[in-house]
Amino acid sequence: MTAVPEGTVIRLETRVGAYLTKDTPLVTLWPPPPADQQHRIGQLVARSVVTAAARSMQHDIDFGIRQLNDLALRGLSDVNDPTTAAEAVARLGSLMRPLLMADLPARSVRDESGRVLLTPNDLDHAAYVRHAFDQINVYSADHPLVRETVTETIRMLQAASAGLPGREAARAELDRHLGTSRRHPLLTQAARADHFRSGDRRPRWRSATTRTG
């Protein structure tokens, strides 16, 4: 934050693990720096953000959630390996429990010189729950072993987060998923086959040239 003048508001236009598209803003500064300082400050700000050719689980817990999801979904595909899928769900619960119990970093931070850092794109607890269970809840519908593991895992997470302040939206997501796990209609084999033929359309993570704006 010290790269910008005192009193500046810095809005980070991305988040950890997100894909960066070339020539799109990395941060927005308000008020804009003086014209003769904009290039220097832009370079300093850009260098303060670490980019890489691929995601890693260091500081990017959502990537670990996605990988466990991929493992479970492969087990629920035509490979037909529900035991592996159930194991992935159980490990997902082990990852989600401390995450739900921990306070996430504030999306607004002010230093002693009046600089403010805003990170509105950071994931909250509710988003992590959605990423953990949205797809698995759909594709485990006709696998009793996996469905039972999903239900037990969600109940465990409900108990772990009960009474914790700021978890209302996350608990609402857990309640929704638990209700879905109890009543979700069986997914047809044709629908499952179509999904897994389509493959994973999520973007591949790579480095990108960024600029301040």
Q: Which tokens belong to 93?
A: 């619960």
pLDDT bracket for residue 190 (50, 70, 90): very low
Using an 8 Å Cβ cutoff, are 153 and 89 in contact? yes
Mean pLDDT of 112-119: 94
Determine the pLDDT at residue 200: 46
Give the mean pLDDT of the chain: 85
Determine the pLDDT at residue 182: 59
Residue type, 37: Q
Determine the pLDDT at residue 92: 97
The H-assigned helical ranges of the chain are 38-47, 61-75, 82-101, 125-139, 144-161, 168-183, 189-198
Determine the pLDDT at residue 194: 52
Mean pLDDT of 195-206: 43
Residue 109 has pLDDT above 90, yes or no: yes
Mean pLDDT of 87-116: 95
